Amino acid sequence: MEIIAWHGGWGKFSAVDEKYHGSGEGDSQGWGFYAAENRVGGEYFARYMHCRNDKVYLHKIRFEIQEHEFWKNADKTGKKLSTGEIFSYSKYFDLRQKIGDEMAAKYLRSNGVKAFMLWETDKPPHGYTYVILQPEIVQVVESYEYIFDVKQSYWKKIA
């Protein structure tokens, strides 16, 4: 299945680089590359979560993933791993506490999970958040640059 999503942040890039995983706001849900289900969410992260810079970027991304590699509604349902183990989000959270975010994500990857999605109720109505554990599946489709106009006190798209 193909998924289109939106990533907002302070960096412009043409490919996802694993060395930046855990460097943004998104690492609250663990190690990975974060994207919102819709543009509103991507713009939210670009403009408000990363407003420490006067220039931010919004990236439209796509990734192809097989149903068995994708953990839908991770915060609500369990996932059967390649080992046969039924893995819950609370178990993932506990594993993160025990061995760290990056190792817990790599455990999921080694068991066939390339991405998962969850609903973050404390964020604006941007739909689901995708946490992508396998960066090479992501393609950047389009990138937009925004600057903050201090006089007008709003973000304007410049590219």
pTM of the predicted structure, to 2 decimals: 0.86
Contacts of 27 (CB under 8 A, 6+ apart): 21, 101
pLDDT tens digits for range 102-147: 899 999 999 999 999 987 666 656 788 899 999 999 999 999 988 7
pLDDT at residue 84 greater than cutoff 60: yes
Number of domains in the chain: 1
Give 11-70 pLDDT, tens digit per residue: 888 999 887 776 665 556 678 898 999 888 888 888 766 556 678 889 999 999 999 999
Looking at the chain, which runs of residues are DSSP E strands? 2-9, 33-36, 55-64, 70-71, 79-80, 86-87, 115-119, 128-132, 138-149, 154-157
Here the CATH number for the domain that contains residue 89 is 3.90.228
Range of 104's domain? 2-157
